[in-house]
Structure 1
Amino acid sequence: MTQSAPYCPRRTAKADPRLGQHSLFSEEINQRLAEEVPPEARQSYFTRAMMPAHWLEAMLENQPSYRERDTSLTMNFRNLPASMVTEFVWTLERQVRLGMRIQAQNTSRLAQHVALVLADSRHAQVVSLLDLSRDQWIRAMRKVGARRNKPRSLETIGCLLGRVLDLLVHVYHQGHWWELNVWNPVLDTRIPLREHEPQRHNLSYFSHLTTPWLREAAKWWLSRQLEREVYSWTTVHTRQQNLTWFQRYLDLHDCDGPHLLNDQRQLGNWVTGCKATGSGCSGRSASADRPKASLLGRVNAGAR
């Protein structure tokens, strides 16, 4: 039997993939989400007339071209558990606040697919969208379609489900925000940012730091700097990218660390080699890699 291909971190994930491996649902947090929803949105069925006014601008079906064609605008969550209704409505409110475009028809279709999955006795205990991973939901939806002899393409539904799950995993996560391998300041409001942070849409992927001690040390160090306002998010993002080159240098020299060298006098050559590797591959000047040299010194001093 051939072994499965090793996991390769991708720069497309909007949330730490580990968050989808087990349910994060909490009744207490779910109740808090319900309280955060505006009173006019605390319902399970929406039409254009019944929808909160500030939602309408975000709805694709409410744009002039759609209204000219008399496109209906309804969203139905009536066949879902109350906890899931809360999750759908909260994520809609969150998307509106983030300036995202919402397609009501696909949102209602997603809710319908979820309701059909829940009708199966094997999923009778599912009370949250986070009780299953995105892939598990899609597989279950395909099975339902096959049994009903109504197979349908779920590509659009899968993308929408992924967006909903990405929003939910961050608000349900109860650990420290900096422990995650993907830092997404748009979706994770716990990450401290400047009021007008120009780089807030840039994500930091620590899964690319494959050496465990380096990855965990980098997350702790950069989070402390960010929380104390020593670094801005822009600086944190740059430092994380610099550390990716350092990781490549560690791989090149087959160094497990965290103790890098026995002789401090060899540190200069180590730093020079690391800077040459980074600037050679990226086309940057050596001066742009000074943060890596500074970090190398701190890491080696700590390892001693």
Structure 2
Amino acid sequence: MNGPRPPAPGRIEATDPIWRLWHELPSPWRGPIIGPEVENWDKITENDSARIRLHDLPETIAAELAWMAHWQARDGTRSSVLATNQLANIIRRAIRDRHPFPPSIRAMSWDQAAALQRWFYATRWGRLPPHGSIARLRVLFRFARLALVARCHDGHWWQLDDWHPRCDPRIPLSEREPQGNYGCSPGQIRHRWLREATKWQLGTALEAGTLRWSTVSQERIKCLTRFDRWLSTLGDPLQVLGDPADASIHAATFRRWDTDPANRLLRSNDRRFADRAVHPRQINDDLRAVAELFAFVAGNRADARRLLDTEPWSRVTEAHAAGWLRQVTRIKHTREINDAHYVDDHAMSQILAALPLLGLPRDQQMLITGDGGTPVAADGFDDPQAMRMILLQILTGRRASEIRTCRFDCLSPASAIAGEQIARFHYAQTKIDSAPDTILVDRQVTEIIAEQQRWVTGKFPDHEPRFLFVQRNGNRTGGKPYPPGTYTWMLREFSDRVQITDSHGRPIRLSHTHRFRHTRFTRLAELGLPIHVLQRYAGHATPTMTMHYIAARQQHAEQAFLATVKLKADGTRIQFSRNDHDSLHLFDRADRRLPHGWCLLPPLQTCDKGNACLTCSVFATDATHRTVLQRQLDDTTELIDRATTEFESKHGRTMPDDNIWLTHRRTEQQALTRLLDALPPEPGCTAGSGCSRPAVAGPIPLPLPISRTQP
């Protein structure tokens, strides 16, 4: 037993599939000593002085360990040399002491491996293994063993109990869906009949493209796992597939159980959500998942007989699915008018002032405002990537996944538009296939992206990065994106440290990054962007979805009301009563519309003033005519200056103040000046700034310096 000795090549197909994988390995990786002949060994291992030693092991286990070490190197992580050697030593000692162990790594679960490790430490050193040794061996049994099991499995990929696209390339992913950094375990469903049907239905839906990997792994498995837990509370779980007339009763019972937040928790670290109310939409999702499973099996009876146990699924009918669907409650899809998801200026200023702490090294400190307004020194979080990601979310309104998984070369060459340097940003649109995946961004965004590109290039100088934001650990080649769980955890810890509140004193959780999407679109809408432009910028398929993101702010409602104020020629406001229907209808009459306002003369009367509206008592205007009024004032002023200059040149004296022409022109000039002074200021303009053009949508001013020397 000095190394793996596979059977003759002609018999490989008829033997254990591990030998097929072993023959595909490069020769330096076939053992029994792996290391000296492997190119760049010091860069692909966790310890360049160690070698993997697979001598005196069963041939199958030696071949499996060799393949797992090679897979880790190709995956971009470092080969677990110390963990592999420790497991090899444990097995060699078990052979010597005749201690039982599984015949292969594939047949060895983590619990069995941990038990062998405890036996090894107890018999050799008389103590339990330290935490570091347990963690090191656990790494070997996470992804490497999953990849080994998947590659040696010749059946359907969905027949396995653990699914992970990183370990099993057979799992279908959509074009715009990134390689999943997360997996799921349908094997956790305890009732075998339910587990096998769940794997079949969800696997078929993925292959058909009716469901996406993110939906299956993050939602559907959890829904059916909760259903499995509820079944354990019943005396006879199979009664749910009994009389179809009782299906609605069972569904109602499950619905009541599912309403309790404590029953929905699937992990021990989810206990912080135990007191949160369950939204009816979440319960509906669970009910639909069960109903769709029943409908799928009932509609594919022939395949069900071949792939599943005939009992109990032979009892299920379409009536069972219909009974469960009847318990789905109807939720009114009326838009709730509020600003709960809007981050106001008070909170935004705190966020931008505290963000440098997120990128600050852990050995440095920064003063932040603590309870009661007292400055407190806080240690840095040493995560400049998270700092730049949340900045980009604030500035662009993109989803967290669209920033976190965007590609490294995400910017097109910059060009100058209206004096501004504009670039096209390609974000990772992973939710809607038909939606656009680019937006125009300004210099502020491009500088943040350029800073991140320099940081990534410095971290991985020998590799061409694939993603703009990368996983920091277990990512030797830089080919894995920043993990979603790490981003959420980092922002949650950051929120607990800095304690951001809005103008009403309500806490703002930065881990809920979707609120920045609401805020960005609300501000753009308030600047007057047309809905079709805002829909394109948001990356939505319909304008209805875009409108759900627009917050109804009371402050903006007041500003919008002031913008509709009608003024007379003398600058005083026109007061309309509820009975002024004739006056209100004048705004819809074409013959009462003027270039710079409206004529309020009653419909049956005619005007004898010509175009002298600025001296007329029934003339009205508002802020929408500001540009025309400003241009008219400039033209009138220029006309007065030109006429008085020509009069003085021709007659040798100034035009008298009582000149009838000059009197009328100055009256118009004064009226225009009063009107422009009385009109409410434009959005984005300060009082007295003389803004006369529409405000242009732009990025939020950031007082945060982006250092080029600090990562």
Shorter-chain TM-score: what band?
0.5 to 0.7
Match of 1:39 in 2: 27
Query: Over aligned residues, Cα RMSD in angstroms?
Result: 3.9
The answer as to 2:46 corresponding to 1:74 is no
* Cα distance in 2, alignment partners of residues 249 and 106 from structure 1: 39
Provide the secondary structure at the position in 1 that maps to 2:34.
strand
Q: 1:59 to 1:297 in 2, by over 3 A?
A: closer
> In structure 2, do the counterparts of structure 1 residues 293 and 260 end up closer, same or farther at CA, with 3 Å as the change threshold?
farther
One-letter amino acid matched to 1:116:
R
Of 123, 126, 138 in structure 2, the residue corresponding to residue 159 of structure 1 is: 138
Alignment map for 1:104-123 (pairs within 5 Å): 104-120=81-97
- 1:104-253 residue pairs with structure 2 within 5 A? 104-120=81-97, 128-130=104-106, 150-151=125-126, 153-154=128-129, 156=133, 158-159=137-138, 162-163=141-142, 165-194=145-174, 197-198=177-178, 200-237=180-217, 238-251=219-232
**In 2: Cα distance, 1:184 partner to 1:100 partner:** 16
Distance 2:240 2:253 in 1: 18
Quote how far apart the aligned CAs of 1:275 are. Answer: 4.6
Please state if 1:52 is matched with 2:46.
no
Return the letter of the residue paired with 1:218: T
> 1:169-221, CA deviations, whole angstroms, 9 ceiling, x for partnerless residues?
33334443323333333333433233564572333333443444433322211
C-alpha distance in 1 between matches for 2:288 and 2:175: 29
Structure with the higher fraction of residues in helix conformation: 1
* Shift in CA distance, 291/84, structure 1 to aligned 2, threshold 3 Å: same
Which residue of structure 2 aligns with residue 97 of structure 1?
A: 74
Distance in 2, matches of 1:46 and 1:262, equals 61
Q: Which has the higher contact order (CA 8 A, sep 6+)?
A: 1
State whether residues 242 and 292 of structure 1, in contact with CA within 8 Å, keep that contact through their aligned partners in structure 2. yes
CA distance in 2, matches of 1:208, 1:131: 17
2:245 counterpart residue number: 263
Runs (5+) with no aligned partner, structure 1: 1-25, 63-71
Q: Which of residues 269, 272, 279 in structure 2 aligns to 1:285? A: 279
Contact 2:18 2:60 in 1 (8 A): yes
Question: What residue identity is the alignment partner of 1:181?
Answer: D
**Aligned-partner Cα distance in 1 for 2:278–2:76:** 36
**Structure 2 vs 1, CA of residues 36 and 152 (structure 1 numbering), >3 Å: closer, same or farther?**
farther
Contact 2:205–2:211 (8 Å) recurs in 1: yes
| 2: CA distance, partners of 1:200 / 1:150 | 41
Secondary structure of the residue aligned to 1:294 is helix
Partner in structure 2 of residue 8 of structure 1: none
| Contact residue 83 and residue 140 of structure 2 kept, 8 A | no
Contact 1:259-1:300 within 8 A present in 2 as well: no
8 A contact 2:164–2:183 mirrored in 1: yes
How far is the alpha carbon of 1:236 from its aligned partner? 1.0
CA distance in 2, matches of 1:280, 1:131: 38
Cα distance between partner residues in 2 of 1:296 and 1:58: 45
CA apart distance, 1:248: 4.4
Q: Verify: 1:61 aligned to 2:47, yes or no.
A: yes
Uncovered stretches (5+) of structure 2, i.e. residues with no partner: 1-13, 265-276, 299-315, 318-711
Q: CA deviation at 1:249?
A: 4.5
> By how many angstroms is 1:137 displaced?
5.8
Question: Is the CA contact (8 Å cut-off) linking 1:59 and 1:101 kept in structure 2?
Answer: yes
Query: For structure 1, which segment, 152-161 or 179-188, has the greater mean C-alpha deviation from structure 2 after superposition?
Result: 152-161
Provide the rounded CA distance (Å) in 2 between the counterparts of 1:246 and 1:127: 35
Displacement after TM superposition at 1:226 (Å): 0.9
SS in 2 for 1:57: helix
- Pair 1:225–1:38, CA change in 2 (3 A): same
| Shift, 1:91, TM fit | 0.3
1:253-298 residue CA offsets vs partner (Å, 9 max, x unmatched): 655244265438x73x765664554354253422344443434444
> Following TM superposition, by how much is the alpha carbon of 1:224 offset from its aligned partner in structure 2, in angstroms?
0.6
The alignment of Structure 1 onto Structure 2 pairs a total of residues equal to 264
In the alignment, what sits opposite 1:16?
none
| TM-score, length basis structure 1 | 0.67
User: Using a 3 Å threshold, how does the CA distance of structure 1 residues 120 and 201 change in structure 2: closer, same or farther?
Assistant: same
Question: How far 1:222 sits from its partner (Å)?
Answer: 0.7
TM-score by length of 2: 0.32
Shift of 1:229: 1.7
What is the percent sequence identity of the aligned residues?
26
Q: What is the Cα deviation at residue 138 of structure 1?
A: 6.0
Aligned partners of 2:223 and 2:162: how far apart in 1? 16
Larger Rg: 2
Distance change >3 Å, CA 59–CA 170, structure 1 → 2: same
Change over 3 Å in CA distance of 1:224–1:45 after alignment to 2: same
2:245 counterpart letter in structure 1: D
Asked if structure 2 preserves the Cα contact closer than 8 Å seen for 1:59 and 1:102, the reply is yes
Q: Residue 154 of structure 1: CA displacement?
A: 4.2
